[in-house]
Amino acid sequence: MSGIVLIAATVLSMATSTAVKTTIAVEKKTFNYPYPTLSSYGLFIGIMKEQKPADRVIPYTLPTPLFSDYAYKLRFVYIPSGKQVTYHDKEVFQFPVGTILVKTFYYPYDFRYPEKGRKIIETRLLIHEENGWKAYPYIWNEEQTEAYLEVAGDTKLIQWTHSDGKKMKINYSIPNANQCKSCHESYGQMTPIGPTARQLNSEFSYNGVSKNQIAYWVEQGILTGVPKNESTIPKIAVWHDAAHYSLNDRARAYLDINCAHCHKTGGQAATSGLNLSIYETQMNLLGVYKAPVAAGKGAANMKYSIEPGNPDKSILVYRMESTDPGIMMPEMGRQLIDKEGVTLIREWISQMEKK
């Protein structure tokens, strides 16, 4: 009994000390990044695991995000005072030096009742330093009171109850600093992926009030260069929202965020010739009747990345449906198959017209 009291007291004291620590504002820090602990950045107020953003730290969301083994993600952006983000219609927005993009990965214990508790695994920071973007992964402790910098990455056993009630268990992989760049690269430079006009042109609930994210950033004075005519701002399809978006738009949105960080001009998979960016207009470069180049066993016995009307003969589907590291796509950050994503891409290929 006394043991339990002791543990409870320790947890309580840890929680309080964290609360005190995290109220330090980012502006007062040394900027000598990276800090050894997440709390040192002062990005959150109160108890850190509640992830309540501090002043100048704005939460945001992507309507069509990257699949990461069903992990839930919380996203925040910190813009230094007096600085502004510059709008771009296609590319990732231009963020000022000093920007911190924050992404926290967690799993609810039970996906059917996500409000009933969660386990935070890691928080990744992308910091725009004087000499470019840098990625720093922070791993949360078991007590969920602090996260520590670990440039070499790690592996953690994660368990949860899935939305269908099934018990799930994976060896969740936390990337090392070089792995971060495998995805976050454009023409050799580290770069963010998510915060584009097409993704941020969507609603977010700010303390219960739903607003368009771009409009909100403008209102907060952190975003400049937004077109006067709102209808010219691109908007990405919500990949699972068949009621409002066409099959083609949803599939292209899915491929854009899940594949095009590598499969684009200037990306690490550019040498494959397969370009899955939402702006690719040539069907052959998108994979239609495109022969594989260096796919190895990823090509299996199939001739083309996409054979219209025939998902079972399309390399794209085959690699999405594999978990063998030598076959699967994306190459990392995934141990499970994104069943819903595969269903979408299968449907999309099925309805393509055969030549």
Partner 1 sequence: MKYFSTIFLFFYLVKFLFSQDIQKQLQSQFILAKPGDTIHIPSGKFELTKSLLLDGKKNLVIKGAGMNQSILSFKGQYEGAEGIKINQCQNITLMDFSVTDAKGDCIKALNTEKISFIRITVAWTGKISPKNGAYGLYPVSCSNVLIHECVAIGASDAGIYVGQSDQVVVSGCEAKYNVAGIEIENTTNAEVFNNYAHDNTGGILVFDLPELPKKQGGNVRVYNNRVIHNNTKNFAPKGNIVGQVPSGTGMFVLATPRVEIFDNLIEENKTVSIGICSFYISERKFNDSLYDPIPYQISIHNNRFLRKKANPPMNNKIGLLLKFKLGKKIPHIVYDGITRDEMLNGSGKLKDEFKICIQNNENESFVDLDADKNFKNITFDLAPYRCTMNVTKP
By CB under 8 A, the count of residues binding partner 1 is 45
120 vs 183, which CB is nearer to partner 1? 183
Q: Are 78 and 131 in contact (CB under 8 A)?
A: no
- Sorted by sequence, the CB contacts under 8 Å of residue 17 that are 6+ apart come out as none
Binding of residue 336 to partner 1 (CB under 8 A): no
Q: Name the residue nearer to partner 1 (CB basis): 98 or 292.
A: 292
Contacts of 176 (CB under 8 A, 6+ apart): 137, 151, 152, 153
Q: Is 325 in the site for partner 1 (CB under 8 A)?
A: yes
182 binds partner 1 (CB under 8 A): yes
Residue 270 binding partner 1, by CB under 8 A? yes
Question: Which pair of tokens denotes residue 166?
Answer: 């099934």
Q: Which position among 268, 310, 322, 350 is part of the footprint of partner 1 (CB under 8 A)?
A: 268
Cβ closer to partner 1: 121 or 299? 299
- Tell me which of 7, 12, 242, 294 binds partner 1, using CB under 8 A: 294
Range 217-221, long-range pairs (CB < 8 A, 24+ positions):
217/58, 217/85, 220/58, 221/84
322 binds partner 1 (CB under 8 A): no
Shortest CB 291 distance to partner 1, Å: 5
Among 46, 96, 114, 273, binds partner 1 (CB under 8 A): 273
* 284 forms part of the interface with partner 1 (CB under 8 A): yes
How far does CA 106 lie from the centroid of its chain?
12
- DSSP, collapsed to helix, strand or coil, labels residue 331 as coil
Among 37, 94, 179, 202, binds partner 1 (CB under 8 A): 179
> Please, are residues 275 and 285 in contact by the beta-carbon 8 Å criterion?
yes
State the burial class of residue 131 (Cβ atoms within 10 Å of its Cβ: 0-12, 13-18, 19+): exposed
Does position 152 bind partner 1 by CB under 8 A? yes
* Residue 215 or 300 having the CB closest to partner 1: 300
DSSP calls for 29-66: S---SPPSBSGGG--EESSGGG-EE-TTEEEE--SSPP
The verdict on 130 binding partner 1 (CB under 8 A) reads no
Span of 22-30, 228-236, 239-247, 301-309 interacting with partner 1 by CB under 8 A: 301-309
Among 6, 9, 242, 332, binds partner 1 (CB under 8 A): 332
